[in-house]
Amino acid sequence: DVQLLESGGDLVQTGGSLRLSCAASGFPFSNCAMAWVRQAPGKGLEWVSSLSNDGSKTYYADSVKGRFSISRDTSTSTIFLQMNSLRAEDTAIYYCAKSRVPNSMDMVFDSWGHGILVTVSS
């Protein structure tokens, strides 16, 4: 079974940094594009960032561009989201998600992690 397990969420001060991790298992990790999607409390879904299967292509929402960085480690089947210069509006549950079709930037998310809470407060 596909499993995606996020970690690294915390309460952080405005302007601070945090690194989220997502450990993947149950599928050929090196073949699949991955993404982070967030959900502010009581709100809808917001795409944050995507990463190609080989890590060569990265994409970001304008709201996080220049502050967040996505990466992956194939040796540990883990993706990361480095978040810098955090703002109150970054407060959300962050989900790691797997793209459905291998070796493509399909961006249909057929598996999701349970989510991890990031709270940014002054």
CB of 74 to another protein, least distance (A): 23
For residue 114, state whether it binds another protein (rule: CB under 8 A): yes
CB of 26 to another protein, least distance (A): 14
Indicate if the alpha-carbon torsion angle 15, 10, 93, 26 is positive or negative: positive
Cα 68–32–39 angle (5° rounding)?
45
What is the amino acid identity at position 75? S
For residue 107, state whether it binds another protein (rule: CB under 8 A): yes
Question: Which one of residues 29, 68, 80, 109 is an interface residue with another protein (CB under 8 A)?
Answer: 109
Distance CA 66, CA 82 (A): 11
Binding site for another protein (CB under 8 A): 35, 37, 44-47, 50, 59-62, 95, 100, 106-115
